[in-house]
C-alpha cells in the first residue's frame, strides 16, 4: 500500500451518493453511523423487503434508478458454527447471489469505487499464524464454514478480476471477528461473542449454577469492535484505490484470546458468579484465527479495547434484547 494522494473522482465528497448494502446488519449499521458522523449526507439504503439482493433484475433496476457513486457491500447471510453446519447450501447460494449481483451492477452502472467486506474464515484452517493476505487459497478450509468461506473468496476474486478486465476500482477488506451494536444474539445463528453475552446474562438473571460453553475453550480468536471496522473501511475508501491495496487487506487488532479467556472476561463484565463448563463434544472450529495487520499498521489502528468493547456490547444487549 503506497500512502499516496488520490486525485480525480475517486475521493468521496459529503454529497456523493453512497449505497450501503446491508445497512441494518451489524457491519452495515456501523458503516452508516461512521459516514453520518463524518458529514456524508447522501446515504442510500434499502431493507431486504424493499430490495432482494439475490434478485438480479431488482438489483439492476435499483442501480439504474439510484445511480450510487460509491458502494459498501456489507450485506451477507452470516452465522456461527451451528448455522454454517446446518444450512451450508443457503450460505453459499445467498452470498454468491448477493455479491455477484451487486458487484456486476456496480460495474454496469459506473460506480466509482466499491468496498467488499469479506471474512477471516476465508483463510486455510491450518494456515500459519498470524494470517497474511498471501495465505489465501494455500490450503484446506475449515469444514464447518466452508460454504460461507468459498462464497466470500469468490467475492474477493470477483472484485480482483473486474478490476483486471474492466478497470474498475473495487477493493476488498478482510475484517476479523466482529462484535458490537446490532449483533445477532439468536443462539441458533449467532457468533461466539454474542452467544456468550446472552448465555451469561440469562444465567445471571435466573441465578443458574453453570454456563455451558461449546468446545474445549482452547481455540484462539481475535475480536474487533464493529465501530473500529467501520472506521477502517471509511478510511480506506477515502484514501486508497484498488491499485494501492492489492487484492485485499486485513482489518483487525493484531491480538487474540482463547475462548476460555473470553468466557471468563464476559462472565466478569456481566457479573455472573457461577461455574463455566466446557462441552468438548461440541466442535471447536479453527484452532486459531489471528490476522496479520501489518499492511495497515502505522496508517490505521483499532482504538476500542476488548474489555471496553464487551462492556459496551453488553449494555447495548440489555437495552435492546
Q: Per the annotation, does 109 bind a ligand?
A: no
Q: Per the annotation, does 27 bind a ligand?
A: yes
- Please tell me the distance from the alpha carbon of residue 211 to that of residue 214, in angstroms, as a whole number: 10
Cα-Cα-Cα-Cα torsion 150, 153, 158, 160, nearest 10 degrees, comes to: -160
Euclidean distance between the first and final Cα of the chain, in Å?
A: 41
- Please tell me the distance from the alpha carbon of residue 211 to that of residue 147, in angstroms, as a whole number: 30
Q: Per the annotation, does 176 bind a ligand?
A: yes
Q: Per the annotation, does 199 bind a ligand?
A: yes
| Residue 219: CA count within 13 A, CB half-sphere | 21
The three-state DSSP-derived secondary structure of 235-271 is HHHHHCCHHHHCCCEEECCCCCEEHHHHHHHHHHHHC
Q: Per the annotation, does 229 bind a ligand?
A: no
SS3 214: strand
Q: Per the annotation, does 22 bind a ligand?
A: yes
How would DSSP label each residue in 132-160? Answer: -GGGTTSSPPPGGGHHHHHHHHHHHHHHH
Q: Per the annotation, does 215 bind a ligand?
A: no
- Please tell me the distance from the alpha carbon of residue 256 to that of residue 251, in angstroms, as a whole number: 13
Q: Per the annotation, does 117 bind a ligand?
A: yes
Q: Per the annotation, does 120 bind a ligand?
A: yes
- Angstrom CA distances, 10 to 69, 114, 261, 296, 303, stand at 9, 10, 43, 20, 27
Q: Per the annotation, does 241 bind a ligand?
A: no
Establish whether 185 is a catalytic residue: no
Q: Per the annotation, does 25 bind a ligand?
A: yes
Could you say which of 70, 107, 123, 148 is catalytic? 148
Q: Per the annotation, does 214 bind a ligand?
A: yes
- Residues annotated as binding site for substrate? 199, 214, 221, 284
- Residues annotated as binding site for NADP(+)? 22-28, 117-120, 152, 175-178, 191
Residues carrying an active site annotation? 148
- Residues annotated as binding site? 22-28, 117-120, 152, 175-178, 191, 199, 214, 221, 284
Amino acid at each position: 500500500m503506497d500512502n499516496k494522494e488520490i486525485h480525480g473522482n475517486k475521493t468521496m465528497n459529503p454529497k456523493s451518493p453512497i449505497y450501503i448494502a446491508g445497512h441494518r446488519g451489524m457491519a452495515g449499521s456501523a458503516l452508516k453511523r461512521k459516514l453520518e458522523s463524518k458529514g456524508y449526507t447522501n446515504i442510500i439504503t434499502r431493507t431486504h423487503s424493499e430490495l432482494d439482493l439475490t434478485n438480479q433484475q431488482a438489483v439492476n433496476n435499483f442501480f439504474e434508478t439510484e445511480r450510487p457513486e460509491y458502494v459498501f457491500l456489507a450485506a451477507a447471510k452470516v452465522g456461527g458454527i451451528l448455522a454454517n453446519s446446518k444450512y451450508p447450501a443457503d450460505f453459499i447460494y445467498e452470498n454468491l447471489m448477493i455479491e455477484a449481483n451487486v458487484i456486476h451492477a456496480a460495474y454496469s452502472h459506473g460506480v466509482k469505487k466499491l468496498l467488499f467486506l469479506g471474512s477471516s474464515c476465508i483463510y486455510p484452517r491450518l494456515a500459519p499464524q498470524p494470517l497474511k493476505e498471501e495465505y489465501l487459497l494455500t490450503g484446506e478450509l475449515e469444514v464447518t464454514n466452508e460454504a460461507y468461506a468459498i462464497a466470500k473468496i469468490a467475492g474477493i476474486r470477483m472484485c480482483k478480476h473486474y478490476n483486471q478486465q474492466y478497470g474498475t476500482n473495487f477493493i476488498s477488506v478482510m475484517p476479523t471477528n466482529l462484535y458490537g451494536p446490532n449483533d445477532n444474539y439468536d443462539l441458533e445463528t449467532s457468533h461466539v461473542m454474542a452467544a456468550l453475552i446472552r448465555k451469561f446474562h440469562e444465567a445471571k438473571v435466573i441465578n443458574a449454577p453453570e454456563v455451558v460453553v461449546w468446545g474445549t475453550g482452547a481455540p484462539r480468536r481475535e475480536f474487533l469492535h464493529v465501530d473500529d471496522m467501520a472506521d477502517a473501511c471509511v478510511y480506506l475508501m477515502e484514501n486508497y484505490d484498488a491499485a494501492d491495496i492489492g487484492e485485499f487487506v486485513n482489518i483487525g487488532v493484531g491480538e487474540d484470546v482463547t475462548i476460555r479467556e473470553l468466557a471468563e472476561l464476559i462472565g466478569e463484565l456481566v457479573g455472573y458468579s457461577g461455574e463455566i463448563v466446557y462441552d468438548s463434544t461440541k466442535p471447536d472450529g479453527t484452532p486459531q484465527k489471528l490476522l496479520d495487520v501489518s499492511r495497515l499498521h502505522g496508517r490505521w489502528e483499532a482504538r476500542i479495547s476488548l474489555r471496553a468493547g464487551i462492556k459496551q456490547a453488553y449494555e447495548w444487549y440489555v437495552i435492546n434484547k
